[in-house]
Amino acid sequence: MKRVSQSLLAMVALLGFASVAIAGEVQVAVAANFTAPMQKIAGEFEKDTGHKALLTFGATGRFYAQIKNGAPFEVLLSADQETPARLEQEGATAKGSRFTYAIGKLVLWSTREAIVDSKGEVLKRGGFDHIALANPKLAPYGAAAMEAMKALGVSDTLAPKFVQGENIAQTYQFISTANALLGFVAMSQVYEDGKLKSGSAWIVPANLYSPIRQGAVILDKGKDSAAAAALMKYLKGDKAKAVIKSYGYDH
């Protein structure tokens, strides 16, 4: 009996060592709009798989340049679908790994109540000195904001009031610190479980801008990584999808 128990203990120890050995880390470049949901998903991913996702948040345009310059990212969670597709065409990704993980929504938001009305008429009415948006050349949400303002016929009038963030996270900071009374952010930044966290907001109608389809792809540096493959599989699973949906994204 004693000999059997020792054998069992040895087997358990070996299995434990194997699970530690198999678990790995994956370097992930994450579009700034996806910060809150990805932080939550990464925590669950580590609990469920043992793999750890090391997250870096920023503007998609900046990530593209960094990846082309040899940054050690293994997975890209982009704010658009064009950047992953471009990297794929350039042979910088694992074949067949690209997919759409979320469809984002644009919101006009202010930290102050009653500033942003339910139809976005404040854009035509004015009464503010600055309006924040992400750099349209670097951030898809900034490009979407420009599209929406052009569709509403207010882009030229509002242009002198623009305060541009490098990415949607910096744009959010401009508004939250009152450097701009209002501005365009990602729905995921100001809504959770369908409820506005604070202030006033207008969910910009989807017909005013091109769909913000956000693409995920395994980069060349992660093509042989078990952790990278596991993360991509996890993002397609029900648990991750529930988190993504809770922050206002569509699939």
Average of pLDDT values for 92-112?
97
Average of pLDDT values for 5-32?
64
Task: Give the model confidence (pLDDT) of 199-249 as tens digits.
Answer: 999 999 999 999 999 999 999 999 999 999 999 999 999 999 999 999 999
Q: What global pTM score does this model have?
A: 0.82
Average of pLDDT values for 140-145?
95
Q: What percent of the chain is predicted at pLDDT more than 70? A: 91
* CA–CA gap between residue 116 and residue 126 (Å, rounded): 11
Q: Facing residues of 203 across strands? A: 107
Structure tokens at 100: 């759409």
* CA–CA gap between residue 80 and residue 145 (Å, rounded): 14
By C-alpha distance, which of 26, 18, 93 is closest to 230? Answer: 26
Amino acid, res. 157: T
Domains of the chain, CATH where assigned: 2-103+212-246 (3.40.190.10), 106-203 (3.40.190.10)
